[in-house]
Amino acid sequence: MLELLGKKIQCNCGKIHTIPSVNIVWDRFSNTYFSNKKSLFVADENTANLSNLSGKNVLTLTDPRRVTATVENVDKVLKILGNEDMIVSIGSGSLTDIAKYAAYLSKKEFSCVPTAPSVDGYTSSAAPLMVNGIKQTLDAKTPRTIILDIDILRNCPLDLLRAGIGDISAKVIARFDWLLSHHITGEYICDFFWNNLEDVLFELLKDVNNIFQREKNFVSKLMTAQLISGLNITVAGNSRPASGSEHLISHFLEMVYEARGELPLFHGLQVAMGTYISLHAYEILFEDIPLEKSSDNLEEKKRSLIQLFGPKKAENFLRIYRNKNMVKIANLNKIKKSLEKTYLRFSPLLKNVCKVIDVGELFKNYSRDVIKQAINLSNMLRERYTVLDFLDSSGILKSFSDWIVEKAGR
């Protein structure tokens, strides 16, 4: 994909895919970059110290716990923004999402200096933000330039490296879910995006044990995979190539923390939990593991949503759920055949990923009830069809949630 930057591709799917022109520079970051543009640098208290920004216009966002991607933080950027030409983020996922959405709203250029290979958002035209307690994915500005300093990237906090592996591993589940929806609901699908990423992802996940060694080659592979995944989102015009049931689970967990006024785990760590859950959902499908029919009815779901998020948000999620195409009849053998090659190639790697980044330890941050709720209710957050909807329409989603919490040792 990176060799296609700035080009248009006539795809076999019938569409013309336009790959944005992004200047990707692997180099040691210094304050001489972006000196040809009047820029506002957006950082936090940790990332502002990674380079000498003296003489630059810098907004340092602060939070006693951790700066997160919220519309309130976007507003802080917009309030200080003057006649600058560009907004430049110095940070990882949250700071990037804040800055690129502010750039989108203000019609400014956007560039970024990633400080961790933790997300694929650096090259994507989408920004997941918390808006009034609901996680929403909003249109955002694609970067003009990305400066990648390998020493900054590989020396980021270890949890951000773990989060990066969790986030990039999720692309396998996103592929499964998109194929599943294509066969069940007839949703459009394009193989261009998976073909761009598959081999890069496979080679990366084979070496995932090197995460704790902070090896330059491994970290650059991880960052490259994230860049490709983000470009896939931009070219597709939505996050379907990169986000499925595992991200819905992550969004749900983050919203629960937001409702409680607590700080969530890093995005990629929550996604790793979602990947663990969704991978086992596909295991149910492929291995024909018997689960008894057991699902919450709509009233039970409504009560749970109201208890967690209040009546207004609950009604919004119920509306999404009612409008879903919950097909109950599907050619299971055809679906298995379509997914089998990728499932057999990647499922052992994903199981090892979950072991290496210690997903079992992550589950200990949540009660059994919250994990069950995330499984039973997260498919109500988006119209996107995923394996959770398949289990739901099959009448075994609730049984699956019970099975998972036991399997995860909760």
Instruction: Assess contact for 405 and 370: CB atoms under 8 A.
Output: no
CATH of the domain at 76: 3.40.50.1970
In a shared domain, residues 120 and 221 = no
Q: CA 78 to CA 72: how far, in whole Å?
A: 10
Structure tokens at 133: 């307690």
In a shared domain, residues 77 and 194 = no
| Confidence category of residue 215, pLDDT binned at 50, 70, 90 | very high
Distances (CA, A) of 389 to 164, 174, 225, 326: 27, 14, 28, 7
Residue 328 has pLDDT above 70, yes or no: no
Q: CA 223 to CA 226: how far, in whole Å?
A: 5
Which residue segment(s) compose the domain that 105 sits in? 2-155
In a shared domain, residues 212 and 358 = yes
* Final residue before a domain boundary, out of 124, 155, 186: 155
Percent of the chain with pLDDT strictly greater than 90 = 83
Q: What is the pLDDT of residues 4-29, one digit of tens each?
A: 999 999 999 999 999 999 999 999 98
In a shared domain, residues 305 and 169 = yes
- 10 Å CB burial of residue 187 (0-12, 13-18, 19+) is middle
Q: What is the pLDDT of residues 301-317, one digit of tens each?
A: 999 999 999 999 999 99
In a shared domain, residues 207 and 320 = yes
In a shared domain, residues 295 and 166 = yes
Structure tokens at 42: 């957006």
In a shared domain, residues 275 and 391 = yes
Q: CA 73 to CA 102: how far, in whole Å?
A: 9
CATH of the domain at 230: 1.20.1090.10
Residue 409 has pLDDT above 90, yes or no: no
pLDDT at site 36: 81
Q: Quickly list DSSP for 239-261.
A: STTT-SHHHHHHHHHHHHHHHHT
pLDDT at site 329: 64
Rg (CA), the chain: 21
Residue 285 CB contacts under 8 Å (≥ 6 apart), including other chains: 332, 335, 336, 387, 390
Closest-CA residue to 81 (of 97, 67, 102, 95):
102
Of 177-181, 263-267, 405-409, the poorest mean pLDDT is in 405-409
Structure tokens at 304: 């749970």
Strand partners of residue 113: 90
Residue 344 has pLDDT above 70, yes or no: yes
Q: What is the pLDDT of residues 126-137, one digit of tens each?
A: 999 999 989 999
Strand partners of residue 112: 89, 146
* Final residue before a domain boundary, out of 96, 130, 155: 155
Alpha-helical runs (H) found in 289-331:
298-309, 311-322
Structure tokens at 312: 């207004």
* Final residue before a domain boundary, out of 97, 120, 155: 155
In a shared domain, residues 327 and 218 = yes
Instruction: Assess contact for 161 and 215: CB atoms under 8 A.
Output: no
pLDDT at site 371: 96
Instruction: Assess contact for 376 and 339: CB atoms under 8 A.
Output: no
Q: CA 43 to CA 89: how far, in whole Å?
A: 6
In a shared domain, residues 253 and 144 = no
- How many domains, in total, are found in the chain? 2
Closest-CA residue to 43 (of 51, 35, 33):
51
In a shared domain, residues 178 and 149 = no
Confidence (pTM): 0.94
In a shared domain, residues 17 and 52 = yes
Closest-CA residue to 141 (of 155, 157, 123):
123
Helix (H, G, I), strand (E, B) or coil at 283: helix
CB atoms within 10 A of CB 312: 11
In a shared domain, residues 277 and 373 = yes
pLDDT at site 387: 97
Residue 211 has pLDDT above 90, yes or no: no
